[in-house]
Structure 1
Amino acid sequence: MQEYDIIVLGTGLKECILTGLMSQSGKKVLHIDKNPYYGGESASISPLEKLYKKFKVRCPSNSMGRGKEWNVDLIPKFFLANGQLVKILLHTEVTRYLDFRVVDGSYIYKAGKVHKVPATEEEAQASDLLGMFDKRRFKKLLLFALNFDVKHPRTYQDVNPDKTTTRELFTRFDLGQDVMEFTAHAIALHSTESYLDQPCVETIRRIRLYSESLGRHSTSPYIYPVYGLGELPQGFARLSAEYGGTFLLNRTVDEIVMENGKVTAVKSEGKLFQCKQLICDPIYVPNRVKKVGRVIRVICLLNHPVKNTHEAKSCQIIIPQAQLNRKSDIFISVVSYAYNVASDGMYIATVSTTVETNNPEKEVQHALELLEPIMQKFVSVSNQFVPYEDGKKSQIFVSRSYDATDHFETECEDIKDMYHRITGAELCLAASERHQSYNSDED
């Protein structure tokens, strides 16, 4: 019987990141996946014919170009340039396996139109998102957030960050409803209205993060890997292998062996692998997770840039929930041939949101209309699972399902939380300060 410190089931991005971190810290790790490829639920599909087959759609026409030129992410998400995932990449030096391009811009849907989220002082002055007086008030809020330091009360300006709600903070700066919506959903990236009556410290942190990320590049705060997200789990798998990690793909998991309520081994294709801890994707332990919602994603293949995005080869579009009388935002992420994920001149736009009715596709109809004409679309509705317990008793640590947002910040919170529960220590990313940059193309 082979013995390991940790066994990981599934090669989704979260599992691969944790595998890399654990291997790097000296743990003996075995990684098992029932699929013959990396990525799990968040894999990149190539060639294009595989995507059509997965969704049971007839083969693509010749107008789609060569199938091998496509790398389609099933769950596309952008990186904030100064966000947690970039810090993890720098900390582990996985950036050496990846190249990035800056996303062309971020947009917000308001009153039936798509508007660019200002990325510069000049764009802010010219933007019709905010009135003249709104711009001054918004700038004051922005300066307050940038100067705010939770460790130095003198920066609070009489705002108690743990007691003052975000609603009260916005009122203090005399922000109107339009500015509140724009700030909360396009910059602080809140996807519902629940933030309004919560302490404002989190919203201030998010505004600052967005601003700092925007400061890294001139067009938007987001970056995206060339060849798509499929490169990420493979990058962390390489990191794990460098430190002695073992990978078994295309292997069924027969049983998780328990003793006195604690995991002791995993049985795979008749072979027993002993372990002290187990990390896994929800799909491997259906009896240890509960359903908390559903997410619809519609992958759309286009032969044109999205209208009103200044011919952007990549962009984010957010439709705030209030614009369509919903409870949660709708997200549209757009990437193209410029990222080596599609044939020349082709685009991939993915619409996602949390399902609220019995007719999920109708919920995203407004978003799909913004993308017309659509050459081909692929619709999926998936359940969202969260673990029943923290895993400390059983030593089985289960990740949360991917949410509907089109950025990685909430997923990184789950990674950090799991790391803390597994190791008993905080994930310290201070080492990332040694590495000041990653490979990115501004063009």
Structure 2
Amino acid sequence: MEKQRVLPLKSSFKCHLLEEGFANEAVKEEMLQQSSSFNIDVNPRLMLSSEQLVEILITSGVGRYLEFAAIERTYVHFQPSALGVKHPEEGACFDTVWDVPCSKKDVFQSKLLGMVEKRQLMKFLQFVADYGETHILHEDVTTKNERTLALGRALKRPQNKASQTDEDAEIAAYLDRPFQELLEKHFKLSTKLQQVVVYCVGLASFPAAKNQISARDGLAAVYRYVASIGRFTGTAFLAPLYGISELAQSFCRLSAVYGGLYVLCASVDRFVLDTEKGEVSGVHCSDGGVLRAKHIVTSGSYVDCFRLTDDEEKTERAHGRTLRGVFVLKASLREGMARIIIVIPPEDTEFKNPFAVQVVQLDVGSYACPKGYFLAHVSMPLPAEWFDQTVKQRELLRSVIRRLILSSETDLQQKHGKQTKADAKATLHEAPTNTLEEMTASDVEEVEAPDITTNPPSKPAWSDRIAWRAMFSTDHLVSGGTCDISASTKRRDLPTNVWVCETCMSEPDDKLDPVDLLNTPDDGASPLEIHLESVTANARAIFEALCPGEPFLPKSASAEQAEQEEQDSEEDAVLRAAQKLAQQTKLNDEPFSTCVADTLESEGNANRELRTKDEEVGKVNKLNTIDSREES
């Protein structure tokens, strides 16, 4: 029996192209001349300001190789029927995109929510902030409050007390239940608010009918988002300049500093499997060289190359798919905004989307496209029953981008209409010859709403806003409901020294009730993750398996020095505040009688000093008198 076996390198993931093309030949020629200015991610990702990867970039020093641009706003799409408009006029244009309120200012300025919903959302966000500090960051509330007071700061809210045991007990009963059950039954949030929290703040993408996230994980996701707001900018997301691949190259630079080697112009051709040990012993390169390796770290697209048996059915891996649309636009999807996120909750009445649709728009500020263009990524996980329905996939992407473009045009028209009315009112106030009573109704109508029927402006079609489009679906590895690396390796029948980089995009099955398990598909598309939190956890788990006991990306010397200076500064501030407080306490605690006695004693001493001086002056005068008599 052969001890070695050759495993050809072959990707089991495919890109299924649906449609691609330019608006016209002139646009094609113009864009090709600027092709080097486009940086289009096949799998676009953003970063939350509070996620673990950001901390690693800061402490390890990798962040000095990177630059970021802030995402300016998050929006949500709602049909008029979801907002209480029962029968919108047929053919009427309406704006279906609304700001997602996250901060206190946004909540109270929101036109999407009513007064009751605003109070409910504020109460929920305040709870999440307190819950995250005590149950996720595991900060002791009493110690935190004492430190805050010592620095002369007021407590954030009266809820920041260690006596919140009753509410904690109520929440604990929901932690292993579906997240939406907690929002509906405990916080009494409306359906609209639940969708905002789950899909826009929690960034989930699964259908509401299939509870694939627990309340524990939902609260953690919302806290990550809330904690990200205001850390670096007023919003939660950061976009790496030049695309998400810059993250990988920055870590490669750090690896090179510590002795990492890179072989250029020699791509991997095949692997050598030691059948006795069940390990990959070497890597064949395209230049004929063979590299010996103790461990192999690969992406999920090459998992099928490493099967240990020829049994196709036994080693078949479940693949999910993600539907993607990339659109180069001539104008932004929201007037005055360049980098935005738009979320469409699942099961929209117009799109019939089974999962949430996430739209990310970037601009020249993130170096994703040249000036004058905007790059829009549209993404949605595909259910298994949609895999072969290419027409349905294409129509979904078309209808989504069409609706968003029409909404942006309506928004622009509404803003322009308000400005026109304001200018008309200003004209009325400035007219000195005619009073409002002297003007006829037709005059007022003519000033306030000028007739445009005689000369209607030419309205371009919505498709004219699209300079280039590409619609496709890509395969991805279904995580199977666990992020445990060793369990993942055993389940996939891989060699013992092969480790798979994958994004865990579904919740562990053991957290769900049997009823919920029936609603969780085993081979369907996993929920889409737009940030990199689980990617970081996956990388850490692989490193700990390869190098047990070693620190994962330890702090750089500059980071340790900055942290020590910050700690010393805070300790000095606490010490100064404590000394000042002690002095004030000492003065306030002195008894009144002691103060009076001290005052009387000081006055007596002063009187005695005055009498002594008078006596000395008298003696001097007496001596002078005697001397003058003797001289006479």
TM bracket (short chain): 0.7 to 0.9
How is 1:200-349 mapped onto 2 (pairs within 5 angstroms)? Answer: 200-259=215-274, 260-269=277-286, 270-288=288-306, 290-306=317-333, 309-323=334-348, 324-349=351-376
Residue 185 of structure 1 aligns with an amino acid whose one-letter code is Y
CA contact (8 A) 1:386 1:399 kept: no
Q: CA deviation at 1:300?
A: 0.7
Q: 1:418 to 1:365 in 2, by over 3 A?
A: farther
CA distance in 1, matches of 2:550, 2:381: 30
CA distance in 1, matches of 2:203, 2:338: 22
Q: CA deviation at 1:132?
A: 1.0
- Secondary structure at 2:222 match in 1: helix
- Secondary structure at 1:72 match in 2: coil
Q: CA deviation at 1:72?
A: 2.1
After superposing the two structures, state which structure 1 stretch, 97-106 or 415-424, moved more.
415-424
Residue 381 of structure 2 aligns with an amino acid whose one-letter code is T
- Secondary structure at 1:304 match in 2: coil
Q: CA deviation at 1:375?
A: 0.9
Aligned to 2:52: 84
CA distance in 2, matches of 1:250, 1:285: 23
Q: CA deviation at 1:223?
A: 0.9
Matching residue within 118, 129, 135 for 1:135: 118
After superposing the two structures, state which structure 1 stretch, 145-154 or 110-119, moved more.
145-154
Unpaired runs of 5+ residues, structure 2, are 1-8, 14-19, 81-95, 141-163, 307-315, 406-461, 481-486, 506-526, 564-632
How is 1:32-47 mapped onto 2 (pairs within 5 angstroms)? Answer: none
Aligned residues: 385
CA distance in 1, matches of 2:361, 2:372: 13
- Matching of residue 156 in structure 1 with residue 168 in structure 2: yes
- Secondary structure at 1:375 match in 2: strand
TM-score (norm 2): 0.55
TM-score (norm 1): 0.77
Q: CA deviation at 1:256?
A: 1.8
Residue 179 of structure 2 aligns with an amino acid whose one-letter code is T
- Secondary structure at 2:294 match in 1: strand
After superposing the two structures, state which structure 1 stretch, 213-222 or 61-70, moved more.
61-70
CA contact (8 A) 1:169 1:200 kept: yes
Q: 1:332 to 1:197 in 2, by over 3 A?
A: closer
- Matching of residue 168 in structure 1 with residue 195 in structure 2: no
How is 1:411-430 mapped onto 2 (pairs within 5 angstroms)? Answer: 411-424=535-548
Residue 295 of structure 2 aligns with an amino acid whose one-letter code is Q
Matching residue within 101, 110, 129 for 1:146: 129
- Matching of residue 183 in structure 1 with residue 208 in structure 2: no
Q: 1:117 to 1:430 in 2, by over 3 A?
A: farther
Identity over aligned pairs, percent: 22
How is 1:45-56 mapped onto 2 (pairs within 5 angstroms)? Answer: none
CA distance in 1, matches of 2:205, 2:364: 29
Aligned to 2:500: 398
Aligned to 1:10: none
Q: CA deviation at 1:163?
A: 3.5
Higher helix share: 2
CA contact (8 A) 1:103 1:219 kept: no
* Larger Rg belongs to: 2
CA distance in 1, matches of 2:372, 2:111: 30
Q: CA deviation at 1:106?
A: 0.8
Q: Deviations over 1:216-274 (max 9, x none)?
A: 14532011122222322211111111111111244332332222212222122332211
Higher strand share: 1
Residue 166 of structure 1 aligns with an amino acid whose one-letter code is F
After superposing the two structures, state which structure 1 stretch, 340-349 or 381-390, moved more.
381-390
Aligned to 1:365: 398
CA distance in 2, matches of 1:168, 1:386: 26
CA contact (8 A) 2:49 2:229 kept: yes
CA contact (8 A) 2:204 2:529 kept: no
Residue 267 of structure 1 aligns with an amino acid whose one-letter code is H
- Secondary structure at 1:96 match in 2: helix
Q: CA deviation at 1:94?
A: 1.2
Aligned to 1:409: 533
CA contact (8 A) 2:72 2:339 kept: yes
Unpaired runs of 5+ residues, structure 1, are 1-32, 35-40, 42-54, 437-443
Matching residue within 360, 373, 384 for 2:476: 384
- Secondary structure at 1:106 match in 2: strand
